Amino acid sequence: MSIFSSMNTTASALTAQRLRMDVISSNIANVDTTRARQVNGEWEPYRRKSVTLTEDNGQFSSFLNIAMGNEDNAGNGVKVTRINDDTETPFKLVYNPTHPDANEEGYVEMPNVDLLTEMVDLVSATRSYEANVTVFNANKSMLTKALEIGK
């Protein structure tokens, strides 16, 4: 285990939470976008996106330690495996016959983004980011104190 492994773990979490906040911000920005992409010649509303995080075991050092029987449980952080489109939640139908994208009955398909859910997710991602910054600063402080021992 390296002296910087905990910093690397925290840095991976910071990167992942930052991307999560970016995706949530994109969802909030497109809450009223009725023409996000074309499917079979028809415009489709914006689909909510979400981030999938998994444990990061892809570093060579972790495979080497396992092969040598020196498994440490410190972990290697997290990584973003994919950004998913929410295909399970249906689009919202809003009655607005004057909208240019209204169908024959006057309903417009709006994105499947729930503003309340996005705000809760954003607060969660922000708090996770802040907690990881605190961990990073505490680790940095401990390493600085360890270097001062030799003075």
Per-residue pLDDT reduced to its tens digit, 64-115: 666 666 655 556 788 899 999 999 999 999 999 999 999 999 999 999 999 9
Where do the structural domains in the chain lie, given as residue ranges?
Answer: 5-148
The pTM assigned to this predicted structure is 0.82
pLDDT at position 86 is 93
Instruction: Please name the residues in contact with 113: beta carbons below 8 A apart, sequence gap of 6 or more.
Output: 27, 28, 30, 31, 46, 48
